[in-house]
Structure formats: structure tokens, C-alpha cells
Amino acid sequence: MEIPRYLRKYKPLYELDPREAAKRCFANARYGLFLHYGLYSLLGRHEWVQLNERIPVTEYARLTDQFTAERFDAEAIVELALDAGMSYINLTTRHHESFCLFKTGQTDFNSVNSPCGRDLVHELAAACDEAGLALHLYYSHGRDWKHPHAPNNDAWGGKARPEYEPPEPAYAYGDEHDLSHYLQFMKDQITELLMQYNHPIASIWLDGIAVPLSRQDGAELMRCQDLYDHIHSLSPYTLVSYKQGLTDTEDFFAPEHRGVDKPGRTVEICTTMCPHSWGYCADRKGTHLDADQVWQKLREAGTLGCNLLLNTGLLPDGSLDLEDVAVLKEVGLRIREQGYPGMQNKPDAGDGL
């Protein structure tokens, strides 16, 4: 098995235990770039716009005809991450709207089947691999506003689906609803993400945790451990996360905005440059984090011994938000001059043994 470029520093341990080497590498990763991009970016009103505004499934799907991503530039994204002092990138492959940024045989609701005509995940995977950056892949698990057999509000509560009135005709209900169809859909898509590219995937980063948590038997019904085991069987160095932890068997934990108490376990705090929004939000221009605020978040994460995953929402055309680019580059310059703030509690990378 060829060792991924981002794990070469951990070669001795990798030869003994690829997953342990990947866990050790991620524990030392410190700082990563999170990217939210999807059809919601075209509207610029938060990534939950479909649910918040109760846009019908068929109407929302028409946004696919406008999705060109003509300025999505994987090399520019990697260059920014390096300039910013980051060691990894995480991209939303499929958010709650269910639109996929990759080639998939499971649905035609994807970037390849749009005016974009491209597999954006593949492009970023290739660019990260070439640069020696780890690529993590966000995947919405359980919360899905399009698939007919995804969890419905009547059985799962919370905000699993938009509250349509009358009920959304694209969804299956009652005896016609079969969760197993959806679970197979997700498993098949994650298999595609891991197997169809000749580039390593550092983790599958699952989101949607409130849906399984809404039921006592949610993790079992969603077959979460089976999915984790499947991921590890396909790619022994690929890690699994599910936000703050659902089964406690995840390889690392990724709570929003603040840490969680997981002694001896790796924690990544994810937060966003744009207040109260992860996707591009046009009316919040000028309110994003400045360099001092990012520096403080890095310090807080480092003091807790956590990584920081900092998000920027790509613009409708797929380009980076220049407001965030300027700040991230300034922070990267500080890191090169001063080191990572508050990182005295992070372990030394060593040689992996």
C-alpha cells in the first residue's frame, strides 16, 4: 500500500498501523480550511435556505440549471490553505440539500449533471494530493431534504425535513417510506468518494447528528457503526468523525465553535468566518472575522489541545471570498513569524512512533 503524501512523516507507524498513523497525524494537524459550497451558494441566504424558506423540492432543484462553478479553482484553494498556515482542507461533498459536488451513480442531482459538468471533489483531491495536504470530506448523513426515503419529521422529530404545508409530494410517507433505501444510498455514495479517485481521503466527516440523536435507537437504526466499519475496511487510514460524537467510536470529534471534554481523544473545533452562516451569505459582507479574531480562535483551540477547522463559504461562481482570503493570508503570515498561538498543549509530531 502506497503511503499518502500527507502521512509520509509518519511512515514508521504507518507501516505498522495505517489508521493509528492517520490519527497521530490528525492530532498534530492544528489548523484546517473548511469550504461550504452548493446550490444554496447561488441564493446567498445561508446554507439552510431551503428549509428556512420552505422552498419546494422541485423548485429548489431548478437551481441546478444555474450551477456553473466557473471559478472553482482547486489549485487556488490549496495555495490559500498553504499561505494561511493550514495543513488540511475539508469540502462539503453533499450538504443537507442533497446536491452532490462529485460524480455519482446514485443520483443525477450532482455537479457533473449540471452546466458545471465537473467533479469538484476529484479536482480538489488531486490538488491536495499534489501539495501533500490532507483532504477531508464532509457528507450530510441523515439530514436530507430531497431523497424520498431520508428520515421524515413524523418519525424522527426536530428539523429532519422542511415543514412543508401541504406535505412535500416528493417524500415517501407511512408504509411507503423505507429507510433502508436511504442508508444504502449513503453507503454507496461514500464508497464512491473513497474508491473512485486515485487520491487519498483523510476522513469522512459526517454531519446531521441531531437526526439520529432525536431517537434513543437512532445510531442503531442509522447503522452508524456498520458504516464506520465499512469506511475503515475500504481505506484503513481514512478516519471517521460525527460532530461531537454519536457512538463514541469515532476517530475524532468535531464540535461546533467550542471544545468537548474527550480526555485522550482528538478534538477539532469547527467554526466559520461569517457570523451565523457557513454557506455564502450576501447580506453579511463586511461582518466576517478579522485577523485578530481568527488569531484568538486559534489560541483558544490550541490552549485546549484542539485543532481548528475554519470555514469560508465559496461565492456563487465557486471562487474564494476575497474578504476571507485577505484575513487568512494575514493570519498565515503571523503564524510564520510567531508560530501557532496557544499550541503548547498540542503533541509534537515526531516521526510517528
Q: What is the CATH number of the domain that holds 98?
A: 3.20.20.80
- 282 falls within a domain: yes
Residue 353 maps to a domain: no
Top-confidence residue, 78 or 142: 78
* CA–CA distance, 35 with 86 (Å, rounded to integer): 13
d(Cα 255, Cα 253) in Å, to the nearest integer? 6
Task: Inform me whether the pLDDT recorded for 182 exceeds 80.
Answer: yes
Domain assignment of residue 329, yes or no: yes
Please name the residue that has the C-alpha cell 457570523.
275
Write out pLDDT tens, residues 242-254: 999 999 999 999 9
Residue 187 in any domain: the answer is yes
Closest C-alpha among 76, 92, 86, 117 to residue 37: 92
Q: Positive or negative CA dihedral for 339, 138, 208, 161?
A: positive
Q: Is residue 333 part of a domain?
A: yes
- What is residue 151's predicted lDDT score, i.e. its pLDDT? 97
* pLDDT given at position 158: 72
Give domain status of residue 193, yes or no. Answer: yes
Tally of domains in the chain: 1
Q: Are 75 and 68 in contact, with CB atoms under 8 Å apart?
A: no
pLDDT at 352: 55
pLDDT > 50? residue 281: yes
Q: What is the pLDDT of residue 157?
A: 81
Summarised one tens digit per residue, pLDDT across range 183-221 is: 999 999 999 999 999 999 999 999 999 999 999 999 999
> Which domain range does residue 86 map to?
5-345
Residue 138, domain member (yes or no): yes
Residue at 37 is within a domain: yes
In this prediction, what percent of the chain has a pLDDT beyond 90? Answer: 94
